[in-house]
Chains A and B, each alone.
Chain A
Amino acid sequence: MQVKQLNKSQKEKLQVYKQMYLDKFFANNKPASKKEVKDYIHWFYGQFNVSKNKKPKVVLVNSPYELCVAISMAKILLGKIGRKNEVSNEVISEVSNEVWNEVRNEVRNEVWNEVWNEVGKSKLTWYAPQYYLSAFNPWVSFYDFFDKECFALKKSKLFNEYKRVLDLNIFWSVPFENFVFVSRNAVKYCRDSQAKLHSVSEPAVQFGGKFRYHLYYIHGVAIKRQMFKKLLKKEYTFQDWVKESNEEVKAAALSFMEEKWGSEYLFRFISDNLKEVDTYTDKKDPKYLAGTTGGMNIGVYTLFKGKIGSINLAFVRCYCPSTDRMFFLCVNAENKTAKDAIASLYRVPAKLKSEIKYIQRQGERFSTVFTDAGKQKLENMTPEEIADLVPVSGNEYFSKMKYEY
């Protein structure tokens, strides 16, 4: 049967399925059970003939970090195949020195209980189906919708048994022939109104266990724990910010300050170090605003200048037309106007500078369309000519710019 169009009822259920599957991952309310995970993996290994061993040992830990530690421990222990008598002295000492001191009891015990009896008998032989034994299987929701709402899949029974993997509340697995190492799902996820991972008061992703393995996000942008702690304690300095090389992370820092400490704090963070020099507003044709937020900041560019010690600084402030996020992009302090400053971020091969038909932009990537003569030139350019990139003037840049996202 071919489904050519979804009916009204089916269309209404799309959102139900979407939410149901998001909740399986994000609204987890029970920790993964060792018995359930073990039973499932034994079923999976048997059903799909993953290895000769249909009942691998299952090591269940609390986070991906613990999972890595557990595998390392197991590798050290199992690396002593055939030398079990030496384990009590040599290996325990080795394990202690390398990882034991970093590992809390629960990981140690979990590995020890499952691996100890295999020392001398097994080794870690890696098997591939880790993706299928994880929570990252969005395709399941796709087939589940068709199976339940449109027509039964040819292997509906098997599919429905398999999809239980998303009810185990696990995060990731690393399967071997005789062992499967499994991380539980995080115990808490914090997200913003657009469902992006986000928190300015606690880790956005929090795994359980004594390791306290956490991940930090600001509106979907991952930042390091050290940076988050500094931002939280108001110890993140202007120098830290200037030295940050990733523009998304830089923008995330400013976003954190504004949300956590208010606009006044953010204003002072900037104005104590940089002075506004010039502003340019590019009044775009309304047709080029399609696909943007339509916000009033689109096309407004402001040049700031300042100093750190003897080093001259210049930044051009702009707003992402797709998200309205604020960016401060570092430019050469020789720029005198905001218009030239923003244009200095663009680069084109010098040989094609006079052949630009129009320019478009998506974040940090520019897309340039050339005249027919320019396209011909491009065909015959040497690598050196391609690499000879130059900026254009502010006037030329804005006269050629179309869509910016």
Chain B
Amino acid sequence: MTTTVKKQVNVAPSSTEGHFVEEAINVVNLDAVNETFKVEGKSKLVTKNHTTLETEEDCLITCQTVYDPFKGVFIKSKD
């Protein structure tokens, strides 16, 4: 799925507040389950509780994983 960025794209759909890519040329959702996004071009990552992260070139956004000790599996971290 390809998305042309006009304003911002949420690269953390499972997050309560979301993390939003701004000013990129393009954002591609490579893996909807793991929430892996390819960001093309210089971009800013903006969210409510953290400082804005600037990246000067193409990057890959991935989600933190934590361990569920009851199920014995790694899961996407939620915020």
Contacts and interface: CB of A to CB of B under 8 A. Distances in A.
A369 B31 contact: no
A18 B76 CA distance: 38
B4 interface: no
A160 to B, nearest CB: 29
Q: Is the interface of B mostly helix, strand, loop or mixed?
A: strand
B34 A322 contact: no
Interface string B37-62: 01100000101111111010111111
Contacts of A365: 11-12, 19, 45, 47, 61-64
A360 B31 CA distance: 20
Residues of A in contact with B, size category: 35 or more
Contacts of A360: 53, 55, 59
A311 B71 CA distance: 10
A277 B39 CA distance: 38
A386 B36 contact: yes
A319 B60 CA distance: 24
B73 to A, nearest CB: 10
Contacts of B34: 347, 387, 389
Contacts of B25: none
B61 A367 contact: yes
A320 B33 contact: no
Nearest to A245: B78
Interface residues of B, number: 40
Contact of A367 (B53, B70, B78): B53
Contact of B69 (A311, A321, A366, A389): A311
Interface string A364-375: 111111100001
A158 to B, nearest CB: 28
Contact of A364 (B15, B59, B67): B15
A345 B66 contact: yes
Contact of A347 (B12, B33, B58, B63): B63
20 contacts: A247-B77, A247-B78, A248-B78, A331-B67, A344-B65, A344-B67, A348-B62, A361-B53, A362-B51, A362-B53, A365-B19, A365-B47, A365-B61, A367-B45, A367-B59, A368-B59, A369-B60, A370-B58, A386-B36, A405-B50
Interface of A: 220, 222, 242-243, 245-248, 291-292, 308, 311-314, 320-323, 329-333, 344-349, 352, 360-370, 375, 378, 383, 386-387, 389, 403, 405
